[in-house]
Structure 1
């Protein structure tokens, strides 16, 4: 006999502690990651992205990664977790760590005039500023410096060498008094990079490599663009699409004196190691490259707008808000590439994504993947994991006792589409049913649906208030394989 929606709701409510058709938390997490892969592939293909890579880190482990596309159209070599991408302004995190290493050693004063270390880094100040440009001001982007130099080197990638940097500094003027306004400044980061080089007696790249990359085992990361490896380990960057949908490759270039602002190339494997270092040092304390207290100081907010509007900035570290949660990291946007790194410090979860096109934002994609998987990650890897493992024994017993009515939820998992419409869905496994992730909506996680089982191949959509809505029926072929689903009378075919 078919249950009414009211009766089914009562049964679900009274048996919710022992789900009738439960999967393990590990199964549910794996399914969420498969959904993330399908969602990413569909959207990256829709945007004609040449290549992309994403990774999710929990504490000391890269727990999931996904690759899309090729390193270049010329070689057609597939993107891997070791493919180098230009990470653009995420490079500023390494510039910040390098500077703070010198601060710890007593060679650089966080609040001393930058000109104490390099007199050529002095901008004319007609504003009568009460304090000078300092390392602290530069790292939190409140030094009052212009955003860029005097030339539009981002247009033709004609980035200046150190002599050119000093020339552009001397021909600029203070934009604001320090701390009057927040102004993101690539120029300031380039100036600080030159100071790091002068104090250390090494090139900025060598100092970062020896002080950060080598100790962390970031074996493939470099401090300038390795164009000699394009398509063979380094992802070729591509400009925005033309009206015909074509992309032109970014010309070979070097960031030169602006490498401290945007010049690092790195991989998913290496950036995972950097994220793990953050979690490890904050958790264990002590000293590794930096003292834990120094890293905490870098990540606390040193500047926020008067009404607490964005941006909120630490020392090199930026913050993001995912609803009520704070994320730490940095984004990057430069010729032919974009990158996003976010870390949720309390739960030790990080996500990093790199794309080889500059008209597709990885920030929104990272937020979607994080939101889709956050709860499931916690159940497997976080504090809730112990309780989940205990509950798994009960679930296993319940499955055994109800073996005669057990449903293989995995049979329903996969991508579904409606011909001629962008109504694609990915159906995946919850611990006690299914979820349906829309592929092409503006808020896929917010629009995610939960489907609970009734009997056979029939499920009900559960509203956010836990009441039940319409039925969803799956179809099978003669061999018993799931081939389609019907919802609202719309038929979606399984790919």
Structure 2
């Protein structure tokens, strides 16, 4: 393991901040079960000039899902639930309602992997509401039973399609509440947060978090502008408030087989199970774990999860085999993934691992003889309310084609940036494996694999970006 060079770590974060401006940023690095480095930049609140420090509380968005998954796995460890049993066996506050009579009941594992077919938005009107209907004014957030009055709908056969959903993890949080008979927030404090020493974290606006809560901002034409303050209604999917220090303690426990210096929350074998892919449509892409996303950085196995909320971004990135991890939290976001935390976390992890920045390979020959097989249209699949955000950006399908002598993938929307597309760079000896460079929006270099059926025809395009796959559409003749 390379020695810790704090100047190089600070320089790496500075380079990210030069590209991705943010009001404030907190970064923490963990190695060997200990917080070994932290960095604070900017302000938690512009009006007061309060600087970001180790006590600054950020909203961490979907990083919450990993803690919800830990709570679910605690019930599984104790034999209280079965991951492959229908969610309906345990959920009492509301129902999961099939959109068609032939749909099988989704299981707990389906919810943990975003493959239950649950919608990203409850109904079409949510598309017109702030933050897609996931937020409410402080003190006015409905309970899940009220929010899902009439049931939470799922639209496709469970296990057949990955579609990211906050609602699925809200159902898991409610499942914990229904099984244990205590509010989800109370359970999480007693069984996850407090045992790990995370005393400045909560999923509700309690005294643990209010005093040091950062203000969220977005960048507009005249600079930083505070965002509307909304509570997260989908609590199990994104309501956590936390500090970089607390999340570093959490990271230490995840790297330590479920325990840190304060206590234990899971057995090592349970965490190992969570980090494995449970939905992997193609072996050449990382797939989806139980609440976590597997990946690689410089050939080192990683797991993690990022988080987005209006005015905030977060990233938790771990290299479990190397015992190192990074947390990065920021308070500037326009409710999209572009911002400092994800590239900052990867830059610091690369320094800790002693690996260089990801690069597109330039030593692999192009294979235009195979491009004819790959060119065509690829659908986002059934269920427009399952994944409305990529559809709003790309359209209902993407297209692979040759443009100016290069193989590219592009969206169908008549927007110049979307229609220009992304170049598919060959990666190794496999003619159906490529990489795309997404550094302009934060995720970095991502694998793209084309799968073929028994007859040799291309059937789908799979990406290493979360669990997104695109089935091939019939050619238009």
* Bin of the TM-score, shorter chain as denominator length: 0.5 to 0.7
**Where does residue 267 of structure 2 map in the other structure?**
291
Confirm whether residue 29 of structure 1 aligns to residue 8 of structure 2.
no
Instruction: Check whether the contact 1:41–1:68 (CA below 8 A) recurs between aligned residues.
Output: no
Instruction: Check whether the contact 1:143–1:177 (CA below 8 A) recurs between aligned residues.
Output: yes
- How far is the alpha carbon of 1:189 from its aligned partner? 0.6
> How has the CA–CA distance of structure 1 residues 52 and 99 changed in structure 2, closer, same or farther, with 3 Å as cutoff?
same
Counterpart-to-counterpart distance in 1, 2:206 and 2:222:
30
Instruction: Check whether the contact 1:87–1:265 (CA below 8 A) recurs between aligned residues.
Output: yes
* Structure 1 residues 157-196: aligned runs within 5 Å: 157-158=135-136, 160-167=142-149, 170=151, 173-196=153-176
**Where does residue 232 of structure 2 map in the other structure?**
255
**Where does residue 407 of structure 2 map in the other structure?**
none
> How has the CA–CA distance of structure 1 residues 245 and 34 changed in structure 2, closer, same or farther, with 3 Å as cutoff?
closer
**Where does residue 47 of structure 2 map in the other structure?**
74
Confirm whether residue 242 of structure 1 aligns to residue 214 of structure 2.
no
Q: Deviations over 1:87-120 (max 9, x none)?
A: 1000001100111111122222211111122352
After the TM superposition, which segments of 4 or more aligned residues of structure 1 sit over 3 Å from their partners? Answer: 40-44, 225-230, 306-310
Confirm whether residue 87 of structure 1 aligns to residue 64 of structure 2.
no
**Where does residue 427 of structure 1 map in the other structure?**
none
Instruction: Check whether the contact 2:200–2:208 (CA below 8 A) recurs between aligned residues.
Output: no
Residue of 90, 93, 98 corresponding to 1:117 = 90
> How has the CA–CA distance of structure 1 residues 113 and 227 changed in structure 2, closer, same or farther, with 3 Å as cutoff?
same
- How far is the alpha carbon of 1:83 from its aligned partner? 1.2
Counterpart-to-counterpart distance in 2, 1:262 and 1:72:
22
Higher share of residues assigned helix: 1
Could you say what secondary structure the match of 2:329 adopts?
strand
Counterpart-to-counterpart distance in 2, 1:333 and 1:305:
25
Q: Deviations over 1:260-281 (max 9, x none)?
A: 1000111111111111112222
Q: Deviations over 1:19-47 (max 9, x none)?
A: xxxxxx75x72331242354345445xx2
**Where does residue 293 of structure 2 map in the other structure?**
318
Instruction: Check whether the contact 2:55–2:212 (CA below 8 A) recurs between aligned residues.
Output: yes
> How has the CA–CA distance of structure 1 residues 114 and 177 changed in structure 2, closer, same or farther, with 3 Å as cutoff?
same
- How far is the alpha carbon of 1:128 from its aligned partner? 1.1
Q: Which runs of 5 or more residues in structure 1 are unaligned?
A: 1-24, 378-440, 447-495
Counterpart-to-counterpart distance in 2, 1:250 and 1:52:
20
Q: Deviations over 1:48-82 (max 9, x none)?
A: x1111001110211111100111111221111122
Confirm whether residue 132 of structure 1 aligns to residue 105 of structure 2.
yes
Q: TM-score, normalised by structure 2?
A: 0.66
Counterpart-to-counterpart distance in 1, 2:32 and 2:98:
46
- How far is the alpha carbon of 1:210 from its aligned partner? 0.2
Q: Deviations over 1:141-190 (max 9, x none)?
A: 111111232224525722542233331x62x5322101111111111111
Q: Deviations over 1:215-240 (max 9, x none)?
A: 1111111112459966x5111111x3
> How has the CA–CA distance of structure 1 residues 165 and 30 changed in structure 2, closer, same or farther, with 3 Å as cutoff?
same
Counterpart-to-counterpart distance in 2, 1:173 and 1:234:
34
Could you say what secondary structure the match of 1:313 adopts?
coil
Residue of 302, 313, 332 corresponding to 2:307 = 332
* Structure 1 residues 17-416: aligned runs within 5 Å: 29-43=5-19, 47=21, 49-119=22-92, 120-126=94-100, 128-129=102-103, 131-150=104-123, 151=126, 152=129, 154-155=131-132, 157-158=135-136, 160-167=142-149, 170=151, 173-225=153-205, 232-238=211-217, 240-251=218-229, 253-256=230-233, 258-281=234-257, 288-306=264-282, 308-309=284-285, 312-359=287-334, 360-375=339-354
Q: Which runs of 5 or more residues in structure 2 are unaligned?
A: 357-438, 445-477
Instruction: Check whether the contact 1:225–1:264 (CA below 8 A) recurs between aligned residues.
Output: no
